[in-house]
Structure 1
Amino acid sequence: MTMIKNINCAYVPVASPEKAAEWYGRVLGMKLRSPVEPGRGAIMVMDEGQWLFLLPSPDMTPLTFSTTGWADDGAPFEMFPICFTTTRIQPLYASLKESGAWVEADIRDEGSCGLQLMFKDPDGNKFQVFQEPEA
């Protein structure tokens, strides 16, 4: 039996917690837990209760990394450290496009791995979101 049950929360660097909280709420539909305290960051709450902390980052290094373990040919790939789940990938895609965020050209159907989409927030943090395949 594993000793770790799940991920309770994640921490994301942002240039401005106030601006990021507005974007995460408007575009991704997350809820702000409490008013943003200057210099302290914001806590966004997802549908199932997990928290996403948006923390001020003076050097603002986006949450991504390069890997050769993702592409079939071993080519370098800018990886996303967090993958979200959704049951509404089409409306989410439309919201991301409307916001002007970097988003893949289209939603990918990965068969048994469901529908998938990569996107970046305004600070360049890269994420993936997937929707489980219908049974």
Structure 2
Amino acid sequence: MGEKLIRVGTTYLPVQDVALAADWYTTKLEAQLNYMDDEKAILAIADQALFLVKAKQGETSNFIDSNGSERFSLTFEVDGEEKLVELQKDLQAKDVEVGPIEDRGHPGRNFVFRDPDGNKFDVWSQLSPKFKERLKVEQ
């Protein structure tokens, strides 16, 4: 059976202050701002649209797993461990809350970071094979 869903095109994130969040994402993560009003900002980042949506106080995209650990709902990919280390250092230099690089028992390494609203994200050092193929990235 062929794939019916091709890719994730848009991710929605809750934020408290749309303008401040948009500034953080464009400054710290180098996202491109495409639109903004009082209720939302639309950014281009990692080959998709990211909507920053004004939400109730304390809302985040995180969730608690069955073991009681707070989890992220989104993983970004970079092309290799060297790029992972480079990104972690870059984010730390920009005063982003960044966790240590981890070995989670699968190929590649990861680290976690948070935006100012507490949304938690993962970064993985492995590009997916289909993405590499699509972009003609050497394997």
TM score, norm. by length of structure 1: 0.80
- Higher deviation after alignment, 39-48 or 121-130: 39-48
Deviation string for 1:30-83 (max 9, x for gaps)? 11113x22x2211110243x1010011133311111112xxxxxx321110111
| Contact 2:46–2:76 (8 Å) recurs in 1 | no
CA distance in 1, matches of 2:54, 2:86: 29
| Contact 1:101–1:119 (8 Å) recurs in 2 | yes
Instruction: State the Cα RMSD in Å.
Output: 2.2
Percent identity reads: 30
Residue type at the aligned position of 1:89: L
Q: Secondary structure, in 3 states, of the residue corresponding to 1:107?
A: coil
Structure 1 runs not aligned, ≥5 long: 69-74
Cα pair distance change 1:29/1:111, threshold 3 Å = farther
Number of residue pairs matched?
125
Structure 2 runs not aligned, ≥5 long: 128-137
Match in the other structure for 1:18:
19
Match of 1:102 among 86, 93, 97: 97
Match of 1:126 among 120, 124, 127: 120
